[in-house]
C-alpha cells in the first residue's frame, strides 16, 4: 500500500499479507521518496576552513616552521572554490593574517589564495605559545558564520607555555560545538597530551608528524 504524497514526500509499504499459523511478526519494506522541493532543502550547509599555524620561536628549529608554512599553502590549495577560509598566526597571542581587513574570512578563489600566500611568506617564527588564544580567535571566526560546517587545522610543535591549563580548558569549553579541530604535532618534542586534549574536545583527531617535511 502507499500513502498520498505530502509536502514532496511519498511513502510506500510492502509486506506479506499472509502469516504462518502462530506467527505474530510482520516484516515490511518502507520506501520513502522525496520530490525536488525537498532536494533543495537538503542543500549542504556552507563550509568554513580555519588554518592555524604555530609561529612560536621553537618552530624555527629543524625547519619545522618552513614545513608548517608549506603545509598551510598545500591546505589552502585543497580548499574547494567558494569555501570561506581564514588563516591564524599563533604565538603568545593570536593574529588574523588573512584576511586582514576585519572581515574574518575570505572566499577561496585565485585572487584570495594568492594574497594569502603572500601573507604567509611574511611570517617568521618568534614568540611564545598560548593555544587557547588561537582557539578563541578561531571561535570568533566560526561564530561569524552561523550554520556553516566549520573545520580547523592546527599545526604546532606545542608546549602551552604562556597560559595556564585552566585558561586552555575554559576556551575549549567555549569552543566546543562551534568547529571541529584536527591537530598535527610537528616534530618529535611536542606535548602530546595538550594537543590530543584539544582534538578530543573539539571532535577532531591528533597525529604526530615526526619528520616536518612530511607535514604537507
Question: Do 83 and 100 fall into the same domain?
Answer: yes
Query: What is the CATH number for 109?
Result: 3.40.50.410
For 100-124, what is the mean pLDDT? 95
CA angle 173, 175, 177 (to 5 degrees): 95
Using a CB cutoff of 8 Å and minimum separation of 24, what contacts does 165-172 make? Answer: 167/130, 167/132, 168/131, 168/132, 168/194, 168/197, 168/198, 170/132, 171/132, 171/133, 171/135, 171/136, 171/139, 172/132, 172/135, 172/197, 172/198, 172/201, 172/202
Structural domain tally of the chain? Answer: 2
Question: What percentage of the chain exceeds 70 in pLDDT?
Answer: 90
Please tell me whether residues 157 and 189 are part of one structural domain. yes
Same domain, 80 and 109: yes
First to last CA, the chain: 56
**60 with 15, same domain?**
no
Q: What is the pLDDT of residues 131-181, one digit of tens each?
A: 999 999 999 999 999 999 999 999 999 788 899 999 999 999 999 999 999
Q: Is the pLDDT of residue 91 over 80?
A: yes
In-domain check, residue 3: no
Q: Residue 186 domain-assigned?
A: yes
pLDDT at 201: 97
Give the global pTM: 0.80
* Whether residues 36 and 69 fall in one domain: no
Query: Same domain for 24 and 107?
Result: no
165 shares a domain with 68: yes
Q: Report phi then psi at 9, rounded to 5.
A: -120, 135
Instruction: For 145-189, give the DSSP string.
Output: STT-EEEEEEEE-----SS-HHHHHHHHHHHTTT-EEEEEEESS-
Say yes or no to pLDDT of 2 above 50: no
Cell 514526500 identifies what position?
9
The answer to whether residues 36 and 90 belong to one domain is: no
Q: Identify the domain containing residue 29 by its residue range.
A: 9-41
- Is 23 a member of any domain? yes
Q: What is the pLDDT of residue 38?
A: 54
Same domain assignment for residues 99 and 142: yes
Amino acid at each position: 500500500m502507499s500513502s498520498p504524497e505530502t509536502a514532496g514526500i511519498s511513502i510506500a509499504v510492502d509486506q506479506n499479507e499472509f502469516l504462518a499459523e502462530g506467527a505474530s511478526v510482520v516484516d515490511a519494506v518502507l520506501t520513502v521518496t522525496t520530490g525536488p522541493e525537498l532536494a533543495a532543502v537538503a542543500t549542504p550547509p556552507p563550509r568554513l576552513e580555519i588554518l592555524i599555524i604555530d609561529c612560536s620561536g621553537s618552530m624555527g628549529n629543524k625547519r619545522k616552521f618552513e614545513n608548517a608554512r608549506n603545509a598551510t599553502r598545500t591546505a589552502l590549495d585543497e580548499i574547494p572554490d567558494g569555501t570561506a577560509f581564514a588563516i591564524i598566526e599563533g604565538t603568545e597571542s593570536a593574529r588574523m593574517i588573512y584576511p586582514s581587513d576585519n572581515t574574518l574570512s575570505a572566499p577561496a578563489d585565485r585572487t584570495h589564495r594568492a594574497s594569502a600566500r603572500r601573507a604567509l611568506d611574511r611570517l617568521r617564527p618568534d614568540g611564545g605559545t598560548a593555544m587557547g588564544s588561537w582557539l578563541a580567535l578561531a571561535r570568533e571566526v566560526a561564530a561569524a558564520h552561523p550554520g556553516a560546517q566549520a573545520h580547523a587545522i592546527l599545526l604546532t610543535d606545542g608546549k602551552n607555555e604562556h597560559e595556564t591549563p585552566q585558561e586552555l580548558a575554559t576556551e575549549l569549553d567555549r569552543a566546543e560545538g562551534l568547529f571541529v579541530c584536527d591537530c598535527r604535532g610537528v616534530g618529535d618534542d611536542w606535548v602530546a597530551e595538550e594537543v590530543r586534549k584539544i582534538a578530543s574536545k573539539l571532535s577532531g583527531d591528533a597525529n604526530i608528524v615526526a619528520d616536518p617535511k612530511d607535514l604537507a
